[in-house]
Every structure is written in C-alpha cells, then in structure tokens.
Homo-oligomer: A and B are copies of this chain.
Amino acid sequence: MEFTEEFVQFINNNPLYTTIGIRIEKAVDGEARSSLDPNPNVCWPFPGQPHGGVLFTLMDATMAVAVFSSLEVGQNCATIHADIQYTLPAKGDHFSCAARITHETGRLTFVRGEIHDGENRIVALGQAAFRVIRSDAMEPS
C-alpha cells in the first residue's frame, strides 16, 4: 500500500490518534515513523509523562503502519503478540517512534520498534509479530 499524503492525513484524523496525540509521519517499504505530542489527559499517574499504555499504543500503531505499507490493497494486519521494554521514565511533550519490518513470511510479519524522547534517548523498545488478514478497515472510502 502506498501511503500518499492524503492517506496519511486520513489516518491521522482518526479519533484514537487525536485523543492521544499520535501522528504518523511517514510509511514506506516496511518502515514507518510517527510522533507523539501527548494530550495531558493521557499523562497519568505522573504529570508530564505519558502512560506506558500510551507509549505502547504509539509503538503498536507505528508497527502496524510499517506492516501495512508492505501489504497489497485489501489486506490488513492484526497483532499476534508484542513485547515492550521501558528503559527510562518518559518525560517531555514530544516523542518519536520508528518501526521497521524485520521479516515477512506472507502470513506473518515481524517488526521492531523504538521510541525516543525529545532529547533522543530511548524510552521504549519493542518487537511484535503480526498476521496478515483480509480487510478494508483502514481504507478511505
């Protein structure tokens, strides 16, 4: 799937991303980049620190977009498992996430991702496996 600017904009307007503060920046050939400017509502229990679930959501979403960028029209993906490590307290109002496919078998796609804070320190590392499914869910009408 090609991620045209129009398609990226379509995705970035979804209610989940806008509620949290996620933006996809780029997705091509199995690699994706995104950013998180966390809504204060999702910075709890530590003010100014996005919840670990918010970082996970950023990573899972970015991984899924990386997978999606290598799929055919009419295919989608679903996470089988994801393992995330938290290396540092995530402080600040801007984070970036990068994800890339490490291996594809046709039915399964393996991905790695990492999240950096605004000072380029790693705050989270992940690896996940996705299965490829038939679906039209993320496509614009």
Contacts and interface: CB of A to CB of B under 8 A. Distances in A.
A45 to B, nearest CB: 4
Interface residues of A, number: 50
> How many copies of the chain does the oligomer comprise?
4
Interface string A42-81: 1111100001111011101100000000000000101111
A17, A56, A61, A83: most-surrounded residue (chain B CB, <10 A): A56
A129 B81 contact: yes
Tell me if A's interface is mostly helix, strand, loop or mixed.
Answer: mixed
A108 interface: yes
Contacts of A131: 108
A17 B17 CA distance: 16
